[in-house]
Chain A
Amino acid sequence: MAVAALAAVLTLAGLAACTSLDRRVPEDPARELTGVPFFPQTIHQCGPAALATVLGASGLYVTPAELVPLVYLPGRRGSLQAELLAAARGKGRVPWVLAPEFGAVQAELAAGTPVLVLQDLGALGIRRWHFAVVIGHEPADDLVILRSGTQRRLILRRTDFLRTWRAGGNWAAVITPPDRPAATATGGGFVRALADAARHLPPEAVAAGHAAALERWPTDPLVLLANGNDAYAERRLADAIGLYRRLLAGDPGHAAGRNNLASALLDSGCPRIAVQEARQALAALPPGSPLAVPVRDTVARTEAAAGDGGDDASACRAE
């Protein structure tokens, strides 16, 4: 009797910890990222271990122990999602939170990027939050392969994985170097994610990220604005003007883009067309926009330059 009860209890505990399907699924690089490092977690510290795993896969070797002071919250005996993302930024990486669906996880895996996930491994109504890293998906048997806790290869039925994943809102994220936007990223979203990480990156790394984004999203307004601004900052004024014009061709009402075009034109010795662009930028601003201050400043500067009898160089109308 006692033995049977004990067995039942242990089975229950096993369920709570997620049953690994030991089906002797062989490691196969075709469906599993076999090169992803493994850091077995110590008590409570799946956050640092999972983060070290995805950072390692992004080319940055950091031990979980180094990450503990950055992400572990003693009073909560765990780590918060936001702090894992923030710590990745602190290490010069760009986190990207996936759309909350398994298709996004598969798309990242197909691109060779392991995926950090939040699961609830609890049972009997007790929440037990856990971070793990999805490294593979086996479509034939519908299996999901993870680096999880102390298990280098945890193999779950897809339905079991989805059940534990749902409780945390299907939360998943990938970590990439700044010049390698995530497979499921959007152009504008990537520029924003990069801006959040920018304070931990040298300006060249941010510019390299913008350039990579331009290759993938050549018509995205925010990507064009960011690349135009980088060109302006490097005093490549002709490139900046070209990029701002491409932005405005797709989005004529983009006040910031037009303001910056006016500034670049003014600096290139074209005050007369600059003043026209600056006035158009001001007209395009929605009421109460915080951009009103710099745009009015641009109007004043370009008007002063044009009023000084400044004439546009012949090159100004070339484009």
Chain B
Amino acid sequence: MDFRQLIVTVTAACFLALGLQSTASAALIGTPDYLAAEARAGHLAEIDAALSRADVQAQLVALGVDPADAATRAAALSDAELAEVAAQMQTLPAGGDSFLAVVGIVFVVLIILELTGVTDIFKKI
């Protein structure tokens, strides 16, 4: 078991323990318990959710998020979001609108125009 797996397992266990506490009520079916039952069938899915929460946390840290913030952020995601983010953290749209990207595109176009001889703006450099 490598270090990341260890972290994922330990964190999953913590989330699972937290989750099970809330489902202990017996005679009345509380609103969160009802929604959980409606959304997924039983404890197996609960373990999945806990695992993806821990996995998302590890992925956030790998992408440069402070470990303490990563825990808060993984905890704030809903179960549905969690599944999506865990599977596609690298490919989901990440809104950033980097101005540098525009500058980069302009620069590349300028270089192409220069190299193909359309323009001669870098002559004096």
Contact = CB atoms under 8 A, between A and B. Distances in A.
A1 B119 contact: yes
Given A5-B113, A6-B121, A200-B76, A76 B37 contact: no
Given A128-B97, A149-B97, A196-B78, A1 B120 contact: yes
A293 to B, nearest CB: 8
Interface residues of B, number: 53
Contact of B29 (A120, A149, A291): A291
A263 interface: yes
Nearest to A79: B95
Contact of B102 (A6, A13, A229, A259): A13
B105 A124 contact: yes
Interface in B40-69: 41-42, 60, 62-66, 69
B91 to A, nearest CB: 10
Given A74-B63, A81-B92, A127-B93, A9 B78 contact: no
A263 B94 contact: no
Contacts of B92: 80-82
A260 B28 contact: yes
Given A1-B120, A70-B69, A76 B96 contact: yes
A77 interface: yes
Contact of A195 (B31, B69, B72, B110): B31
Nearest to A43: B99
B94 A260 contact: no
Interface in A75-94: 75-83, 85-87, 89-90
A229 B107 CA distance: 62
B96 A46 contact: yes
Given A79-B96, A82-B84, A192-B35, A17 B102 contact: yes
A13 B97 CA distance: 13
Contacts, number: 180
Contacts of B81: 82, 85-86
A53 to B, nearest CB: 13
A83 B96 contact: no
A318 interface: no
Contact of B119 (A2, A126, A191): A2
A78 B77 CA distance: 17
Given A79-B94, A80-B94, A290-B42, A126 B101 contact: yes
A191 B36 CA distance: 13
Contacts of A81: 92-93, 95
Contacts of A16: 102, 105
Interface of A: 1-2, 5-6, 9-10, 12-13, 16-17, 41, 43-47, 50, 69-71, 73-83, 85-87, 89-90, 118, 120-121, 123-124, 126-131, 149, 168, 191-192, 195-196, 198-200, 225-226, 229, 232, 256, 259-260, 263, 266, 288-291, 294-295, 297-298, 301
Given A45-B96, A294-B33, 5 more contacts: A9-B109, A78-B98, A81-B93, A85-B81, A126-B105
17 contacts: A5-B119, A9-B113, A13-B106, A45-B96, A46-B96, A70-B69, A73-B64, A73-B94, A74-B64, A76-B63, A76-B89, A76-B94, A83-B85, A85-B78, A123-B105, A229-B30, A256-B29
